[in-house]
Chains A and B, each alone.
Chain A
């Protein structure tokens, strides 16, 4: 979209984090942990990499983004609002009766939301369908899909991974937010995912491993994925709750908003980071 500097993208990422904390605090519920771990990626996508036009969400040549980990809707809504899809003031209506900003994203309700998600393990299949349509129609758009690491325990992802390879969907990029935590605790203590890169490789994907809070690495990986002759999986090593000290690496903030005291600390920390 535009050539924002890495430093600017980092600042935007922290603005998205601040929105996430404010929105979930106002809603008294929601999923801040995974929203914060994917904030840097969302900043890179919506403010540098995606070829999109917020004034024309239906533009047929736009790059597509599917949020498979639908519970991190807050960070998607924040990125859409900051991009100009809808007023930033609407963010505070998250999860309220009558709001377009449902607890999990709904296609057709929110400009810029491509698919309805929230039940885990389905987004990559949807993204395959979108990428296949692009290929059938000779379109150049890319399709990006953000996956949680825990949801890779769901077999449908691997059906989709086989499909993408079979149909040569080089226009498809799966990004795994590898924050190592799910509700139960560590992913490896639940149903282990490692060796994760080898799994994607065995399914025929181009695999890029990055540090998920390095804006330089995120942007480089996303650009590199566009050149791949195969579908690409970017596995980004992240910290759940990144940017708020007491949320970092804390599975307890997977699906819980701050209380008043925590809120003040979180806002202070994020505002400091933004300046």
Chain B
């Protein structure tokens, strides 16, 4: 089921290095974190199209917009908190509004950032980026999907926000997968509950489904890696079959995947929905495993949420 542990950002770096060879219009911007975001892999092979802006994220977004307006496909990367919150209004005006070809790609999203603490743990980024018109929001499930999504968004003409984690975690997708923006993947078919995850929570969703299968509960697992536009077709087909839904994300339950799913469900179908995510709270320093446990982001939390959702069926 789950594959080897890999860090998404390493595969983001690999994808950028590939794009350096194949696409002479790609420019990569960094705000003093190239070694951490792995944009350094692009810098090594293509220093002429790597732009260090320093610790100045607002300026980075304006520069990205100017480059994109001049025909470049721009990747701008830093940690999730700084890539979105620090320069949200710049992204709104300079990138989203004129629909420019800028990819804001963040690493170090979620509470599993760990020891750096709450200042560095992006738990609101999906919420604030999803609310921007023209913005596509992607949270790949694993390193392989991070690679495939990087290649896919390079081919898409428009603004994208993509979030990734810091840590290594198990793969859920095949290495040779093809990524289609806006298309969810049904990883496991089931009749009793629809379990929708994104990011590293997808691997926990798969574990939860396995555990529940042992109890005779048949869970359908969906990797909803594109949070906006949401694949409502896949979601609705599943919940019409199962009659209940659970979401799991390493993000606040306010405004993220859980909210996106809730919006879709309330417009279309009446089923119970349980949301696994952080509960309107900041994180703190600690090792990632302990933090995931304390903030309710484990396989056991997902299992409990599935049981609750099933119990709420009418």
Which residues of A approach B to under 8 Å, CB–CB? 60, 66, 106-108, 114-119, 122-134, 136-137, 155-156, 159-160, 162-163, 166-167
Q: Which chain A residue lies CB-closest to B96?
A: A116
Binary A-proximity of B43-64 (CB < 8 A = 1, otherwise 0): 0000011010110101101111
Query: Is B93 on the interface with A (CB-CB < 8 A)?
Result: yes
Chain A residues contacting B300 (CB-CB under 8 Å) are none
- Asked if A125 and B98 sit within 8 Å, CB to CB, the answer is no
Contacting residue for A125 out of B51, B54, B61, B72, CB 8 A: B61
Chain B residues contacting A119 (CB-CB under 8 Å) are 89, 93
Chain A residues contacting B53 (CB-CB under 8 Å) are 159, 163
Binary A-proximity of B75-95 (CB < 8 A = 1, otherwise 0): 000000000000001100110
- Asked if A118 and B62 sit within 8 Å, CB to CB, the answer is no
Q: What are 15 sample pairs from A and B whose C-beta atoms fall under 8 A apart? A: A66-B66, A106-B97, A115-B65, A115-B98, A116-B98, A117-B93, A125-B59, A128-B66, A129-B62, A129-B67, A132-B63, A133-B70, A156-B56, A159-B58, A160-B62
Q: Is the interface of A mostly helix, strand, loop or mixed?
A: helix
- Asked if B59 and A160 sit within 8 Å, CB to CB, the answer is yes
Query: Is B108 on the interface with A (CB-CB < 8 A)?
Result: no
Minimum C-beta distance from A250 to chain B (A)? 29
- Asked if B54 and A132 sit within 8 Å, CB to CB, the answer is no
Query: Is B113 on the interface with A (CB-CB < 8 A)?
Result: no
Contacting residue for B49 out of A118, A123, A136, A156, CB 8 A: A136
Contacting residue for B72 out of A116, A117, A133, A162, CB 8 A: A133
Interface centre among A106, A107, A129 (most CB of B within 10 A): A129
Chain B residues contacting A162 (CB-CB under 8 Å) are 54, 56
Query: Is B71 on the interface with A (CB-CB < 8 A)?
Result: yes
Minimum C-beta distance from B89 to chain A (A)? 6
Q: Which chain B residue lies CB-closest to A118?
A: B93
Minimum C-beta distance from B26 to chain A (A)? 12
* Contact A126-B56, Cβ < 8 Å, known A106-B98, A116-B94, A136-B48: no
Q: Which chain A residue lies CB-closest to B63?
A: A129
Chain B residues contacting A106 (CB-CB under 8 Å) are 97-98
Contacting residue for A129 out of B64, B93, B97, B99, CB 8 A: B64
Whole-angstrom CA separation of A75 from B49 in the bound complex: 36
Minimum C-beta distance from A132 to chain B (A)? 6
Chain B residues contacting A123 (CB-CB under 8 Å) are 62
Minimum C-beta distance from B54 to chain A (A)? 7
Query: Is B27 on the interface with A (CB-CB < 8 A)?
Result: yes
Chain B residues contacting A136 (CB-CB under 8 Å) are 27, 48-49, 72
Chain A residues contacting B67 (CB-CB under 8 Å) are 129-130, 132-133
Contacting residue for A130 out of B48, B56, B69, CB 8 A: B69
Whole-angstrom CA separation of A117 from B56 in the bound complex: 19
Chain A residues contacting B48 (CB-CB under 8 Å) are 136
Contacting residue for A128 out of B27, B63, B100, CB 8 A: B63
Minimum C-beta distance from A137 to chain B (A)? 8
Chain B residues contacting A115 (CB-CB under 8 Å) are 65-66, 69, 94, 98
Minimum C-beta distance from A135 to chain B (A)? 10
Supplied contacts A117-B93, A163-B63, A166-B54, 20 more A-B pairs, CB within 8 Å: A107-B69, A108-B98, A116-B94, A116-B98, A118-B93, A119-B93, A122-B93, A122-B94, A125-B59, A125-B65, A126-B63, A128-B66, A131-B66, A132-B51, A134-B70, A155-B58, A156-B56, A156-B58, A159-B53, A159-B56
Interface centre among B54, B62, B72, B89 (most CB of A within 10 A): B62
Minimum C-beta distance from B278 to chain A (A)? 30
Q: Which chain A residue lies CB-closest to B71?
A: A133
Whole-angstrom CA separation of A137 from B48 in the bound complex: 11
Minimum C-beta distance from A139 to chain B (A)? 9
- Asked if B93 and A132 sit within 8 Å, CB to CB, the answer is no
Whole-angstrom CA separation of A159 from B68 in the bound complex: 19
